[in-house]
Amino acid sequence: MNERRKQRLTYIDWMRGLACLLMFQTHCYDSWLSDAARSTKFFSWSQLGGTLPAPLFLFLAGISFALATDKLRQRGVAANEIARSTLRRGAEIFGLGLLFRVQEYLLGQPSAPWTDLLRVDVLNMIGLSMMLMALVCRLAAGSGMDAAAASGGGNPGSRAVTILAAAAAALLVALVTPPLWTTWRPRWLPWFLESYINGVHIFREPQPWLFPLFPWSAFAFAGLAVGFVLLTDWARRREAAAAALAGVGGVTMAALGWWLDAQPRQVYAVYDFWHTSPNFFLIRIGLLMGILFASYAWCRWGAGQWGFSPVIQLGQTSLLVYWVHIEFVYGRFSILPKRAMSIPAATLGLLGICLAMLLLSIARTRLKGRGAEVWGWLRLPARAG
């Protein structure tokens, strides 16, 4: 692996690790804090941080997808084989999401309802988004293109088409999300299928704690566009400038989102800023791009260069720590009583979870052998070939 590619994977792993830490604190406080503690500003701020992990994971799935297809292109893999390989990888992640739901259902007995098996979780959405990205990349490249074009790389023109297609897909998903949650709801679908559109599940209204295609797949498409931009010839030659430009672009997008939201006239009949608003989507994409630049700077010029990084370590095994921590925070084996703890006690539990997951991650990294590509989760370049 060349030095530039290794550096790129390092700051992507750092971002994944950051998402893991934010996920830990959000889940731990949500599961363990008592009703009195949940009424404090501390709890509100802790849950605000919880708006970032899922977008980060999906955004990074898009960037990793771009890196994976670029690696396959460099190997000279045929266009259709690239599409098949990435579709298979997306199906694997989707299958893991279904397996995770089966595990949670079995461990939740006798109280867990069978409908939990069909809940739309973040793993389901990452897998589906990857399959959709494979189709968009293949269609954008055109049927007569070679392997380089099919991955969005090699040919600058085909790469530009892929970037535009990914950005257009992200924008389209964001724009149609509000009506698909309200006035355009596909009520004619069975609830378990409609849930993949708007997260309605078994309830009468869409649920914001689920992860339907609208709006969540938009973050993956946005990451795909950014990933291919980072693979352009200009960005490869000027990696630091490209990362800085991503940061500036992120600030601009966030400011645009705030400005649009402040306008007196709104487009949609039903407006929900925190869950379906395209303006909030722009703001969050801006934050993700800012985090991308901060992560690059930290790993190239900051403490990320000092040696062992717990954050990078967690990012390298993000699926494993996600999968395991859920059961020790929300599940039957929760290390603290649920909805019963003070803020200091829950914070100690959070520190325990962070340390335990770090040790688990280190152990997994050292156990080299069969299955490493599965538990690599979003490290698509390791699996794509």
Q: Provide the whole-model pTM.
A: 0.90
pLDDT of residue 245: 95
The domain spans of the chain are 3-384
Q: What is the pLDDT of residue 376?
A: 43
- pLDDT of 7 reads 62
- At 8 the pLDDT is 65
Q: How far is CA 3 from the centre of its chain?
A: 25
pLDDT in tens, the chain (385 residues): 455 555 666 889 999 999 999 999 999 999 999 999 999 999 999 888 888 999 999 999 999 999 988 888 778 777 788 889 999 999 999 999 999 999 999 998 888 999 999 999 999 999 999 999 999 988 887 644 444 444 444 556 677 888 999 999 999 999 999 999 999 999 999 999 999 999 999 998 999 999 999 999 999 999 999 999 999 889 989 999 999 999 999 999 999 999 999 998 888 989 899 999 999 999 999 999 999 999 999 988 876 667 788 999 999 999 999 999 999 999 889 999 999 999 999 999 999 999 999 999 999 988 865 444 443 444 433 333 3
Angle, in degrees to the nearest 10, between helices 213-230 and 156-181 = 160
